[in-house]
Chain A
């Protein structure tokens, strides 16, 4: 049981690292946002699952679940609002090839 918890914790760290690296390497706002929003929430969820397994089901687990649900609701919203503000400001998304006429 404990090993599973450690596995989840390790996964949390792993995803956090990748989210950060992605945020470091990607070329523009949107792609960075992609990396950070996905990996951020995954790492948080992994860590919390790990902790819940470690602690067992009690009031701590309840409180951690509340925080997790809160994160599940707010994190995409804040990603969305950042992306939206960039979009409305007219920052063009990075393209692999140069944009052609169609679309």
Chain B
């Protein structure tokens, strides 16, 4: 019985969230893409990579990539540390 109440509670919260997303989100927003347009037009010249995604990933936003590698490094270290035999 308790479980049923809990399920209903969860469902109601999720449905409420769904309604909020449904009304809060506007799919037809006019988009302003000054930054991206610059990437598309100049990215090839400025970084030398034809693949613009690569040029953003490793050129313009390479610091993010550094952070991401650090995330991977610490994950690997912690998995090794956690599962190491004593």
Determine whether A and B are in direct contact in the complex, meaning some CB atoms lie less than 8 angstroms apart: no
